[in-house]
Structure 1
Amino acid sequence: MSSNETLKQIIEAALLAAGRPLSLDQLQALFEKEDEPEKKSLREILAELTEDYLGRGIEIREVGNGFRIQVRSEFSPWVSKLWDERPPKYSRALLETLALIAYRQPITRGEIEDIRGVSVSTNIVKTLTEREWVRVVGHRDVPGKPALYATTKEFLDYFNLKGLSELPTLAEIRDLDSINRELELKDPDKLDEEPTESEQTPDEVMDAQPVVETDQLEENEIPEDESGQKSEHSTVSETQDTSVDAEKDELEADQIDQAETGRLYE
């Protein structure tokens, strides 16, 4: 049996040369039957390598198909420039379908369509199966025997997951709009729009008041009809004012006559 340090170097070299995840069974197969290490020893070696890689640009990660050496995600912006081709972009419909399969598996195509409210394109299912992210695991025991879809270990490898238990919980998946409302963030696409009444300042609200209509004029203002003449109400008011002035003049005239009459009898 090789020494512990030699075993460690063999495991490290195998993971680096493979370029893909290796399971414990595959690592054991590297050795002759009499020199085959126990799985417990392999896990201890892998734990030591994990500690050795702390603070470095690479790490050992356990995913669906086993263990692999990979570049740390924080260095991907630089390392990705080594390849000319760009990573494929997937539609929202494809990602929604994949998410439903991951969280509700096993699930039929019809059930996916019922949840999404739209039909699932055949190209989406074909893409997911060709990428080996999804596979048929059985058929629902209902008329038509629809296929049941579930995710694969390749799905776990691609998304850097050890198992489905590492998927974020549905409670952690928050709607972006609800987050914006909680943080009172404005949609950048709507910044040019006029603010709502609740968002306007008091000065803006005053400026936005409508023009005062005829029936909202102050009492001392006399409205006019469409012909430019004063209304009937104003004419009645003027007649009343004229009558009061006339009575006042007559009273003053009587007082003057009485005064003159008194002087005549003195």
Structure 2
Amino acid sequence: MALGDQEKTSRAAEAFDRELLDLPSTARWREWMNRVEAVIFAASDPVSLEMLQRLVGRDCSIELLIEDIREELRTRPYDIVHVAGGFQHRTRPAYASAIRAASDADEAMTGLSPAQALVLMTIAYFQPLTRTELSAFIGREVSRDAIAQLRHAGFITSGPRSPQPGAPYTYITTDAFLSHFGFETLRDLPDIEKLEDAGLLDKEKLLANIPGAMDAVHEEEDEIG
């Protein structure tokens, strides 16, 4: 950023009145609520707590502001939810069928085919996974094209290199995945605690019980993520 632009940005920040000390307390709180809701509404991605804190006074609680905003939205078909480490406007699940009817296709909502959704779900629950491990879980080869499509959608990215021979790339989900499907963290995946308690998320144990899976994993070639 050029020096002139930095000075303009600095002056704009100084001119922005966070504290609103000239307003009565009730009006001040209302203005803070409006600011926070406006920024969340305008943002395409979840807005972090740190970002919202820049809009209000130093002693203002963003959490309490959000609670008051959500209370006012209680009878509306949308809400403010905490997803992927930030806050975002979301329509309520009860209206999903109406939205699907308006869009005329489930695929328009997610952009995923059933096969892609299966790959994504497997990565979400068992990450990090190599492509060969994915293929073993699903029971058929997962192509590089399938991985590329999910990467292009922003739902997965390269994870740490696997300790297997050749150190192939693994794949993990992204914050965009959490945001798109309305999860705050991966702990919000459906039934994840029940699956863990039943031992059904032990990747190594499950792969060991799939005939030929470990042999395929050991033979996996190095991939470019």
Q: TM-score, length-normalised on structure 1?
A: 0.56
Match of 2:222 in 1: none
Match of 1:6 in 2: 31
Which deviates the most, 86-95 or 136-145?
86-95
Amino acid at match of 2:92: R
Amino acid at match of 2:182: N
Greater relative contact order: 1 or 2 (C-alpha under 8 angstroms, separation 6 or more)? 2
Cα displacement string for residues 122-158 of structure 1 (whole angstroms, at most 9, x for unaligned residues): 1110011111111112101222111011111110111
Cα displacement string for residues 22-58 of structure 1 (whole angstroms, at most 9, x for unaligned residues): 11122124x4xxx6535x7011101111111112122
How far did residue 61 of structure 1 move?
0.9
Whether the aligned pair in 2 keeps the contact of 1:139 and 1:148 (CA below 8 Å) is yes
Amino acid at match of 2:71: E
Whether the aligned pair in 1 keeps the contact of 2:100 and 2:109 (CA below 8 Å) is no
Match of 1:52 in 2: 72
Amino acid at match of 2:122: L
When the two structures are aligned, how many residues end up with a matched partner?
A: 167
How far did residue 76 of structure 1 move?
3.7
Whether the aligned pair in 2 keeps the contact of 1:65 and 1:154 (CA below 8 Å) is no
Whether the aligned pair in 1 keeps the contact of 2:162 and 2:169 (CA below 8 Å) is yes
Distance in 2 between the 1:92 and 1:132 partners?
17
Instruction: Please state whether the residue corresponding to 1:106 is helix, strand or coil.
Output: coil
Instruction: Please state whether the residue corresponding to 2:120 is helix, strand or coil.
Output: helix
Structure 1 residues 87-102: aligned runs within 5 Å: 87=109, 89-102=111-124
Match of 1:124 in 2: 146
Distance in 1 between the 2:50 and 2:97 partners?
34
1:37 matched to 2:58: yes
Distance in 1 between the 2:120 and 2:134 partners?
10
Match of 2:216 in 1: none
Amino acid at match of 1:27: L
Match of 2:15 in 1: none
Distance in 1 between the 2:136 and 2:102 partners?
43
Match of 2:191 in 1: 169
Instruction: Please state whether the residue corresponding to 2:45 is helix, strand or coil.
Output: coil
Q: TM-score, length-normalised on structure 2?
A: 0.66
Distance in 2 between the 1:54 and 1:88 partners?
26
TM-aligned CA distance change 1:119 to 1:79, over 3 Å: closer
Q: Using the aligned pairs only, state the percent identity.
A: 27
Amino acid at match of 2:35: I
How far did residue 98 of structure 1 move?
1.1
1:18 matched to 2:43: yes
Whether the aligned pair in 1 keeps the contact of 2:103 and 2:109 (CA below 8 Å) is no
> CA RMSD of the aligned region, Å?
2.4
Amino acid at match of 2:31: T
Whether the aligned pair in 1 keeps the contact of 2:162 and 2:170 (CA below 8 Å) is yes
1:147 matched to 2:147: no
Distance in 2 between the 1:158 and 1:134 partners?
12
Instruction: Please state whether the residue corresponding to 2:142 is helix, strand or coil.
Output: coil
Whether the aligned pair in 2 keeps the contact of 1:140 and 1:148 (CA below 8 Å) is yes
In structure 1, the gaps of 5 or more residues are 173-266
Higher-Rg structure is: 1
In structure 2, the gaps of 5 or more residues are 1-18, 21-27, 196-225
Structure 1 residues 1-266: aligned runs within 5 Å: 1-2=19-20, 3-29=28-54, 31=55, 36-37=57-58, 41-79=61-99, 86-87=108-109, 89-169=111-191
Match of 2:7 in 1: none
Distance in 2 between the 1:87 and 1:62 partners?
20
